[in-house]
Amino acid sequence: MLFIPNKAIGNYFSLIKFSHTIFALPFAIIGYFLAIESSNKSFEPKLFLLIILSMIFARSSAMAFNRYIDREIDKKNLRTSLREIPSGLIKSQSALFFVVINCFLFIVCTYFINTICFYLSPIALSVILGYSLTKRFTALCHLILGVGLSLAPIGAYLAVTGEFNWLPLFFSFAVLFWVSGFDIIYALQDEEFDKSENLKSIPVWLGKRAAIMVSIILHIISASFIVFAGFYGHFSMSYWIGTLIFTGLLFYQHTLVKHNDLSKINIAFFTTNGIASIVFGLFVLIALLFK
Protein backbone atom coordinates (compact mmCIF):
# COMPACT_ATOMS: atom_id res chain seq x y z
CA MET A 1 0.00 0.00 0.00
CA LEU A 2 1.34 3.44 -0.95
CA PHE A 3 1.84 5.61 2.11
CA ILE A 4 2.02 9.38 1.73
CA PRO A 5 2.99 11.27 4.91
CA ASN A 6 0.54 13.89 6.09
CA LYS A 7 3.31 16.50 5.95
CA ALA A 8 3.91 15.75 2.25
CA ILE A 9 0.19 16.08 1.53
CA GLY A 10 0.22 19.41 3.37
CA ASN A 11 3.14 20.58 1.22
CA TYR A 12 1.19 19.89 -1.97
CA PHE A 13 -1.90 21.64 -0.61
CA SER A 14 0.33 24.60 0.16
CA LEU A 15 1.98 24.37 -3.28
CA ILE A 16 -1.33 24.85 -5.05
CA LYS A 17 -2.80 27.25 -2.46
CA PHE A 18 -5.85 24.99 -2.22
CA SER A 19 -7.70 27.51 -0.06
CA HIS A 20 -7.75 29.92 -3.02
CA THR A 21 -10.17 27.55 -4.75
CA ILE A 22 -12.93 29.56 -3.05
CA PHE A 23 -12.41 32.38 -5.56
CA ALA A 24 -13.95 30.62 -8.57
CA LEU A 25 -15.69 27.58 -7.02
CA PRO A 26 -18.89 29.48 -6.05
CA PHE A 27 -19.17 30.70 -9.64
CA ALA A 28 -18.86 27.13 -10.94
CA ILE A 29 -21.68 26.14 -8.60
CA ILE A 30 -23.71 29.13 -9.86
CA GLY A 31 -23.15 27.92 -13.44
CA TYR A 32 -24.33 24.43 -12.51
CA PHE A 33 -27.55 25.55 -10.85
CA LEU A 34 -28.21 28.10 -13.59
CA ALA A 35 -28.12 25.20 -16.05
CA ILE A 36 -30.40 23.10 -13.83
CA GLU A 37 -32.89 25.95 -13.60
CA SER A 38 -32.84 26.86 -17.31
CA SER A 39 -33.02 23.28 -18.62
CA ASN A 40 -35.49 21.97 -16.02
CA LYS A 41 -33.17 19.07 -15.28
CA SER A 42 -32.91 17.44 -11.89
CA PHE A 43 -29.91 17.59 -9.58
CA GLU A 44 -27.43 14.82 -10.40
CA PRO A 45 -24.92 14.20 -7.59
CA LYS A 46 -22.52 12.33 -9.89
CA LEU A 47 -22.41 15.14 -12.45
CA PHE A 48 -22.09 17.77 -9.74
CA LEU A 49 -19.15 15.86 -8.21
CA LEU A 50 -17.48 15.54 -11.63
CA ILE A 51 -17.78 19.31 -12.14
CA ILE A 52 -16.24 20.06 -8.74
CA LEU A 53 -13.45 17.53 -9.32
CA SER A 54 -12.78 18.95 -12.79
CA MET A 55 -12.34 22.39 -11.35
CA ILE A 56 -10.09 21.16 -8.54
CA PHE A 57 -7.88 19.14 -10.91
CA ALA A 58 -7.67 21.97 -13.45
CA ARG A 59 -6.79 24.56 -10.85
CA SER A 60 -4.30 22.25 -9.11
CA SER A 61 -2.49 21.59 -12.39
CA ALA A 62 -2.39 25.33 -13.17
CA MET A 63 -1.04 26.35 -9.77
CA ALA A 64 1.55 23.58 -9.64
CA PHE A 65 2.68 24.41 -13.18
CA ASN A 66 3.00 28.06 -12.20
CA ARG A 67 5.21 27.12 -9.27
CA TYR A 68 7.26 24.77 -11.45
CA ILE A 69 7.80 27.32 -14.23
CA ASP A 70 8.63 30.10 -11.76
CA ARG A 71 10.88 28.03 -9.48
CA GLU A 72 14.09 29.90 -10.38
CA ILE A 73 12.35 33.28 -10.20
CA ASP A 74 10.78 32.41 -6.86
CA LYS A 75 14.20 31.45 -5.51
CA LYS A 76 15.51 34.97 -6.16
CA ASN A 77 12.49 36.77 -4.70
CA LEU A 78 12.67 37.20 -0.92
CA ARG A 79 8.86 37.06 -0.68
CA THR A 80 8.63 33.70 -2.49
CA SER A 81 11.96 32.05 -1.69
CA LEU A 82 10.40 29.83 0.97
CA ARG A 83 7.80 28.35 -1.37
CA GLU A 84 7.80 24.58 -1.59
CA ILE A 85 10.00 24.10 -4.68
CA PRO A 86 12.67 26.78 -4.00
CA SER A 87 12.96 25.65 -0.38
CA GLY A 88 13.31 21.99 -1.38
CA LEU A 89 10.14 20.74 0.29
CA ILE A 90 8.96 19.49 -3.09
CA LYS A 91 11.31 18.49 -5.89
CA SER A 92 10.72 20.21 -9.23
CA GLN A 93 10.31 16.84 -10.99
CA SER A 94 7.69 15.82 -8.44
CA ALA A 95 5.80 19.07 -9.00
CA LEU A 96 5.84 18.50 -12.76
CA PHE A 97 4.57 14.95 -12.28
CA PHE A 98 1.81 16.38 -10.07
CA VAL A 99 0.87 18.70 -12.95
CA VAL A 100 0.66 15.83 -15.43
CA ILE A 101 -1.46 13.70 -13.09
CA ASN A 102 -3.92 16.54 -12.46
CA CYS A 103 -4.19 17.33 -16.17
CA PHE A 104 -4.93 13.69 -16.87
CA LEU A 105 -7.56 13.51 -14.12
CA PHE A 106 -9.17 16.70 -15.41
CA ILE A 107 -9.48 15.26 -18.93
CA VAL A 108 -10.86 11.99 -17.52
CA CYS A 109 -13.53 13.90 -15.60
CA THR A 110 -14.56 15.86 -18.70
CA TYR A 111 -14.80 12.58 -20.63
CA PHE A 112 -17.43 11.34 -18.19
CA ILE A 113 -19.29 14.68 -18.25
CA ASN A 114 -20.11 15.08 -21.95
CA THR A 115 -18.55 15.25 -25.40
CA ILE A 116 -18.25 19.04 -25.71
CA CYS A 117 -16.49 19.39 -22.34
CA PHE A 118 -14.12 16.59 -23.30
CA TYR A 119 -13.29 18.19 -26.67
CA LEU A 120 -12.79 21.60 -25.07
CA SER A 121 -10.62 20.29 -22.21
CA PRO A 122 -7.27 20.74 -24.06
CA ILE A 123 -8.21 24.35 -24.83
CA ALA A 124 -9.07 24.97 -21.18
CA LEU A 125 -5.76 23.47 -20.09
CA SER A 126 -3.81 25.53 -22.62
CA VAL A 127 -5.33 28.71 -21.16
CA ILE A 128 -4.80 27.94 -17.49
CA LEU A 129 -1.32 26.49 -17.98
CA GLY A 130 -0.29 29.11 -20.51
CA TYR A 131 -0.94 31.91 -18.02
CA SER A 132 2.25 31.00 -16.18
CA LEU A 133 4.33 32.03 -19.20
CA THR A 134 2.59 35.32 -19.98
CA LYS A 135 4.32 37.59 -17.47
CA ARG A 136 7.50 37.02 -19.44
CA PHE A 137 6.16 38.91 -22.46
CA THR A 138 2.98 40.89 -21.66
CA ALA A 139 1.69 43.18 -18.94
CA LEU A 140 -1.78 41.84 -19.70
CA CYS A 141 -0.96 38.59 -17.89
CA HIS A 142 -3.57 39.49 -15.24
CA LEU A 143 -6.30 39.28 -17.86
CA ILE A 144 -5.10 35.83 -18.95
CA LEU A 145 -5.44 34.65 -15.35
CA GLY A 146 -8.91 36.16 -15.33
CA VAL A 147 -9.82 34.25 -18.49
CA GLY A 148 -8.67 31.01 -16.86
CA LEU A 149 -10.87 31.41 -13.79
CA SER A 150 -13.74 32.77 -15.86
CA LEU A 151 -14.15 29.33 -17.44
CA ALA A 152 -15.76 28.10 -14.19
CA PRO A 153 -19.38 29.28 -14.65
CA ILE A 154 -19.65 28.65 -18.39
CA GLY A 155 -17.85 25.32 -18.04
CA ALA A 156 -20.28 24.13 -15.37
CA TYR A 157 -23.20 25.28 -17.50
CA LEU A 158 -21.85 23.36 -20.50
CA ALA A 159 -21.44 20.28 -18.35
CA VAL A 160 -25.19 20.19 -17.70
CA THR A 161 -26.67 21.46 -20.96
CA GLY A 162 -23.96 20.95 -23.57
CA GLU A 163 -24.89 24.40 -24.89
CA PHE A 164 -23.64 27.97 -24.54
CA ASN A 165 -25.89 30.63 -23.06
CA TRP A 166 -25.51 34.35 -22.47
CA LEU A 167 -26.36 34.37 -18.75
CA PRO A 168 -23.45 32.16 -17.58
CA LEU A 169 -21.22 34.09 -19.98
CA PHE A 170 -22.11 37.32 -18.17
CA PHE A 171 -20.95 35.68 -14.94
CA SER A 172 -17.78 34.54 -16.72
CA PHE A 173 -17.07 38.12 -17.81
CA ALA A 174 -17.67 39.28 -14.23
CA VAL A 175 -15.11 36.74 -12.98
CA LEU A 176 -12.64 37.73 -15.69
CA PHE A 177 -12.53 41.40 -14.69
CA TRP A 178 -12.84 40.70 -10.96
CA VAL A 179 -9.88 38.31 -10.91
CA SER A 180 -7.80 40.52 -13.21
CA GLY A 181 -8.40 43.46 -10.91
CA PHE A 182 -7.38 41.77 -7.69
CA ASP A 183 -4.40 40.06 -9.35
CA ILE A 184 -3.08 43.52 -10.22
CA ILE A 185 -3.39 44.43 -6.53
CA TYR A 186 -1.44 41.30 -5.59
CA ALA A 187 1.26 42.13 -8.16
CA LEU A 188 1.92 45.51 -6.54
CA GLN A 189 4.18 43.94 -3.94
CA ASP A 190 6.58 42.57 -6.60
CA GLU A 191 6.89 45.68 -8.76
CA GLU A 192 10.56 46.35 -8.05
CA PHE A 193 11.58 42.70 -8.21
CA ASP A 194 9.70 42.17 -11.48
CA LYS A 195 11.47 45.17 -12.99
CA SER A 196 14.84 43.73 -12.03
CA GLU A 197 13.96 40.40 -13.67
CA ASN A 198 12.40 42.02 -16.76
CA LEU A 199 9.01 40.51 -15.94
CA LYS A 200 5.81 42.16 -17.12
CA SER A 201 2.81 43.37 -15.11
CA ILE A 202 0.49 46.34 -14.94
CA PRO A 203 2.36 47.73 -11.87
CA VAL A 204 5.68 47.41 -13.73
CA TRP A 205 4.23 49.02 -16.84
CA LEU A 206 2.27 51.88 -15.26
CA GLY A 207 3.50 52.18 -11.70
CA LYS A 208 1.63 51.47 -8.47
CA ARG A 209 -0.72 54.47 -8.47
CA ALA A 210 -1.93 53.96 -12.06
CA ALA A 211 -2.11 50.17 -11.58
CA ILE A 212 -4.52 50.66 -8.68
CA MET A 213 -6.69 52.86 -10.91
CA VAL A 214 -6.71 50.15 -13.60
CA SER A 215 -7.74 47.63 -10.93
CA ILE A 216 -10.62 49.89 -9.87
CA ILE A 217 -11.79 50.24 -13.48
CA LEU A 218 -11.70 46.46 -13.96
CA HIS A 219 -13.75 46.01 -10.79
CA ILE A 220 -16.30 48.54 -11.98
CA ILE A 221 -16.64 46.51 -15.19
CA SER A 222 -16.97 43.31 -13.15
CA ALA A 223 -19.70 44.80 -10.98
CA SER A 224 -21.48 46.03 -14.11
CA PHE A 225 -21.65 42.49 -15.49
CA ILE A 226 -23.02 41.23 -12.16
CA VAL A 227 -25.74 43.90 -12.28
CA PHE A 228 -26.50 43.25 -15.94
CA ALA A 229 -26.76 39.50 -15.29
CA GLY A 230 -29.27 40.25 -12.55
CA PHE A 231 -31.55 42.17 -14.90
CA TYR A 232 -31.04 39.72 -17.75
CA GLY A 233 -31.86 36.73 -15.56
CA HIS A 234 -34.81 38.40 -13.78
CA PHE A 235 -33.46 37.38 -10.38
CA SER A 236 -35.28 37.87 -7.09
CA MET A 237 -34.34 40.21 -4.22
CA SER A 238 -31.80 37.82 -2.67
CA TYR A 239 -29.65 38.14 -5.81
CA TRP A 240 -29.54 41.89 -5.40
CA ILE A 241 -28.62 41.60 -1.74
CA GLY A 242 -25.72 39.36 -2.79
CA THR A 243 -24.80 41.83 -5.52
CA LEU A 244 -24.72 44.69 -3.02
CA ILE A 245 -22.45 42.75 -0.66
CA PHE A 246 -20.18 41.51 -3.47
CA THR A 247 -19.83 44.99 -4.96
CA GLY A 248 -19.27 46.56 -1.56
CA LEU A 249 -16.47 44.11 -0.73
CA LEU A 250 -15.06 44.54 -4.22
CA PHE A 251 -14.44 48.20 -3.57
CA TYR A 252 -13.71 47.86 0.14
CA GLN A 253 -10.42 46.19 -0.77
CA HIS A 254 -9.37 49.39 -2.50
CA THR A 255 -9.62 51.25 0.79
CA LEU A 256 -7.11 48.79 2.26
CA VAL A 257 -4.39 49.11 -0.38
CA LYS A 258 -2.60 52.35 -1.22
CA HIS A 259 0.28 52.88 -3.60
CA ASN A 260 2.47 53.79 -0.62
CA ASP A 261 1.03 51.28 1.88
CA LEU A 262 0.77 47.59 0.96
CA SER A 263 0.65 46.30 4.54
CA LYS A 264 -2.96 45.06 4.20
CA ILE A 265 -2.58 43.49 0.77
CA ASN A 266 -3.22 39.94 2.01
CA ILE A 267 -6.47 41.01 3.65
CA ALA A 268 -7.52 42.76 0.44
CA PHE A 269 -6.44 39.91 -1.84
CA PHE A 270 -7.54 36.76 -0.03
CA THR A 271 -9.91 37.53 2.83
CA THR A 272 -12.04 40.20 1.15
CA ASN A 273 -12.32 38.47 -2.22
CA GLY A 274 -12.85 35.04 -0.67
CA ILE A 275 -15.73 36.32 1.46
CA ALA A 276 -17.19 38.22 -1.51
CA SER A 277 -17.24 35.09 -3.69
CA ILE A 278 -18.77 32.81 -1.05
CA VAL A 279 -21.44 35.27 0.08
CA PHE A 280 -22.44 36.17 -3.47
CA GLY A 281 -22.62 32.49 -4.42
CA LEU A 282 -24.91 31.74 -1.46
CA PHE A 283 -27.32 34.55 -2.30
CA VAL A 284 -27.44 33.58 -5.98
CA LEU A 285 -28.20 29.98 -5.02
CA ILE A 286 -31.03 31.18 -2.79
CA ALA A 287 -32.38 33.20 -5.71
CA LEU A 288 -32.20 30.18 -8.02
CA LEU A 289 -33.54 27.56 -5.63
CA PHE A 290 -36.42 29.66 -4.30
CA LYS A 291 -37.38 31.45 -7.50
Residue 2 maps to a domain: no
Residue 12 maps to a domain: no
Residue 87 maps to a domain: yes
- For residue range 136-169, list pLDDT tens digits in order: 999 999 999 999 999 999 999 999 999 999 999 9
**Is pLDDT of 121 > 90?**
yes
- For residue range 55-86, list pLDDT tens digits in order: 999 999 999 999 999 999 999 999 999 999 99
Of the given ranges (21-30, 58-67, 114-123), which has the lowest mean pLDDT?
Answer: 21-30
Which carries the bigger pLDDT value, residue 20 or residue 77? 77
Per the DSSP assignment, residues forming a β-bridge with 258 are: 261
Which carries the bigger pLDDT value, residue 10 or residue 122? 122
**Is pLDDT of 178 > 90?**
yes
- Quick one: pLDDT band at residue 6, thresholds 50, 70, 90? low
Residue 15 maps to a domain: no
- Quick one: pLDDT band at residue 5, thresholds 50, 70, 90? low
What is the number of domains present in the chain?
1
Instruction: Name 28's Cβ contacts closer than 8 Å, sequence gap at least 6.
Output: 51, 52, 55, 152, 153, 155, 156
Residue 14 maps to a domain: no
User: Where residue 75 sits, what CATH number does that domain have?
Assistant: 1.10.357.140
Given this model, what pLDDT does residue 270 score? Answer: 84
User: Secondary structure of the chain in the HEC alphabet?
Assistant: CCCCCHHHHHHHHHHCCHHHHHHCHHHHHHHHHHHHHHHCCCCCHHHHHHHHHHHHHHHHHHHHHHHHHCHHHHHHCCCCCCCCCCCCCCCHHHHHHHHHHHHHHHHHHHHHHCHHHHHHHHHHHHHHHHHHHHCCCCCCHHHHHHHHHHHHHHHHHHHHHCCCCHHHHHHHHHHHHHHHHHHHHHHHHHHHHHHHCCCCCHHHHHCHHHHHHHHHHHHHHHHHHHHHHHHHCCCCHHHHHHHHHHHHHHHHHHHHCECCECCCHHHHHHHHHHHHHHHHHHHHHHHHHCC
Mean pLDDT calculated for residue range 276-287:
96
The candidate with the shortest Cα–Cα distance to 186, out of 252, 133, 264, 249, is: 264
| Number of residues assigned to the chain | 291
Type of residue found at 283: F
Given this model, what pLDDT does residue 58 score? Answer: 95
Residue 9 maps to a domain: no
Domain of residue 265: give its range: 20-289
Residue 34 maps to a domain: yes
Q: Are 173 and 226 in contact (CB under 8 A)?
A: no
How many CA atoms does the CB half-sphere of 154 hold within 13 Å? 22
Residue 11 maps to a domain: no
- Quick one: pLDDT band at residue 242, thresholds 50, 70, 90? very high
**Backbone angle region of 158, left / alpha / beta, with phi > 0 → left and psi within -120 to 50 → alpha:** alpha
Using only the alpha carbons of the chain, give its radius of gyration: 19
The rounded mean pLDDT for the chain is 93
